[in-house]
Amino acid sequence: MKIDRISEKMNGYDKLVIFYFSGTGNAKQIALWFSELAIKRHIDCQIFDISKTDINKIETSSSDALVVIISPIHGFNYPKITLNFIEHFPKGKNNVVLMNTRAGMKIGRFVTPGLTGIAFMLSSLILKKKGYRIVGQIPFDMPSNWISIHPALNENTVNFIHEENYKRATKHFNRLFSGESDFLAYRDIVQDILISPVSLGYYFAGKYFFAKSFYASINCDNCGLCVKQCPVKAIKIINYRPYWTFKCESCMKCMNSCPKKAIETAHGLLVAISILSSTIITILLNNILKFNIQSGLIRFLLFSIVFLALLWILYRLQHLLLRNKLIGKLIFYTSLTHYKFWGRYKSISDCK
């Protein structure tokens, strides 16, 4: 595929190229809205799913085109699949707009804003070195889909948040295609800088923590849909049951798309490992090594190492024990996502 290079043009662009990564459909929805708005204005538009796009086949040529890259925020940064895509993006001179979808909630008639963290800052730096000019950084507070930590939002809430973000998408599209730059993200720059250390912690530890939080309950009928649809190929079948590897991006696609709602979060396992890790660290430092470590950072690093080691071991053990009905039920009942009131999330199409 070819990406046309941009020449200076004050009255906008004659072509739009969109690259998106999406788990449950939020980022894809923004991409589709921009595509539809472009078509209405008779602007040539191409749209590509990052998880299905071969970066080695992207080429550049010369014409007026705006490039948009949109992805959800995971741990206050773009997920690894998006960062890898941007890192291997070919050199060019196009104008680029970076967008993201963050965890939005509804309070009254107000949509609460999420945080972008280092996603825009890091990606802008990479793309500028490749010759691109960043003309926009725009966050969208779409409905939060992270049902591992909260119940699914109801349909009315999701509809309201979609409507508000469609208005925002229209406003930003018109601004960009009038030849203006658009840096809405600058409003959150202080919060994003303050939260940036968390993004590093997530990248090196948190990502792997959540990767091992998913399992398939007794309701799983081995349809294989989660394996086929996983955008990063992180799920494989072991002992006739889905097994999540450390490649998982926690995009929530599998959990929210499973027809049987069989994919759940092992809350009981995570709590048990947290308690066990803290106990091991305390015994190791105080009773065996007799070290009095005051640094919170060192303690956190030790905890993370022990936690991930236990998680890898006990997750495999849990996978085997799920074959036992009694133990399987105990695991199911200690997962909040097992209960109907918790629900599942999927981006609602405009027709609804």
In a domain, 306, yes or no: yes
Strands 44-49 and 15-20: parallel
pLDDT in tens, 108-120: 999 999 999 999 9
Strands 95-107 and 110-112: antiparallel
Same domain, 182 and 229: no
238 CB contacts (<8 Å, ≥6 apart)? Answer: 319
Same domain, 185 and 208: no
190, pLDDT greater than 90? yes
Lowest mean pLDDT among 128-137, 205-214, 219-228: 205-214
The predicted structure's pLDDT at residue 14: 85
Strands 110-112 and 214-216: unpaired
Q: How many domains does the chain have?
A: 2
Average pLDDT over residues 153-164: 93
Same domain, 34 and 116: yes
Same domain, 171 and 216: no
**Residue 158 is part of which domain span?**
2-196
Same domain, 56 and 138: yes
Average pLDDT over residues 225-247: 95
Same domain, 145 and 234: no
What is the pTM (predicted TM-score) of this model?
Answer: 0.90
Same domain, 86 and 110: yes
In a domain, 107, yes or no: yes
Same domain, 39 and 104: yes
Is pLDDT larger for residue 173 or for residue 298? Answer: 173
Same domain, 164 and 264: no
The predicted structure's pLDDT at residue 143: 95
CATH number of the domain at 245, please.
Answer: 3.30.70.20
Nearest CA to 140 out of 156, 117, 161 is that of 161
C-alpha distances out from residue 6 to 90, 99, 128, 347, Å:
15, 19, 14, 33
DSSP-assigned beta bridge partners for residue 209: none
Question: Distance between CA atoms of 100 and 120, rounded to whole angstroms?
Answer: 9
pLDDT in tens, 294-328: 666 777 788 889 999 999 999 999 999 998 889 88
